[in-house]
Amino acid sequence: MTTITPVRTSSRLLLTDAEVDQFQRDGYVVKRGLFSEEELRPLQEELERDPNIRGSQSSIPDLEGKLWKVTIWNEQNDTYAGKLPRLERMLDNTALLAGEETYFWHIKLVRKSNDIPGTVDWHQGYAYWYDDCLYPNTITCSVAVDSNNLRNGCLNVVKGSHHMGRIDMVDVGGSHVADPERVQHILDTHEAVACELEAGDAVFFHANMLHGSLPNTTDTPRTLMHCVYNARSNQPVEPEKSPHRAYRETVKLPDGTLLDGDYDTVFEKHTFFAPEKLNSVGGQQVF
Domain annotation covers residue 8:
no
Domain annotation covers residue 47:
yes
pLDDT per residue over 160-219, tens digit each? 999 999 999 999 877 889 999 999 999 999 999 999 999 999 999 999 999 999 999 999
Q: Quote the pLDDT of residue 173.
A: 77
Low-confidence ranges of the chain (pLDDT < 70): 1-8, 275-287
Q: What is the helix (H) or strand (E) element at residue 4, kind and residue range?
A: none
For residue 60, give the nearest of 123, 150, 102, 10 by alpha carbon: 123
Sequence-distant (≥ 6) Cβ neighbours of residue 177 within 8 angstroms:
63, 121, 122, 123, 169, 170
Domain holding 137: CATH number? 2.60.120.620
Q: Quote the pLDDT of residue 174.
A: 79
Domain annotation covers residue 5:
no
Domain annotation covers residue 113:
yes
Give the 3-state secondary structure of residue 205: strand
Domain annotation covers residue 213:
yes
Q: Quote the pLDDT of residue 175.
A: 85
Structural domain range at position 263: 17-285
Domain annotation covers residue 6:
no
Q: Quote the pLDDT of residue 281.
A: 34
Number of domains in the chain: 1
Q: How many helices (H) and strands (E) does the chain have?
A: 6, 15
Strands (E), the chain: 28-31, 58-61, 67-73, 102-112, 120-123, 138-144, 155-158, 169-172, 175-178, 192-194, 202-206, 211-213, 222-231, 280-281, 284-285
Q: Quote the pLDDT of residue 275.
A: 65
Q: Cα–Cα distances in Å, from 170 out to 46, 51, 88, 215?
A: 37, 31, 38, 22
Q: Quote the pLDDT of residue 284.
A: 41
Question: d(Cα 44, Cα 37) in Å, to the nearest integer?
Answer: 10
Domain annotation covers residue 158:
yes
Domain annotation covers residue 11:
no
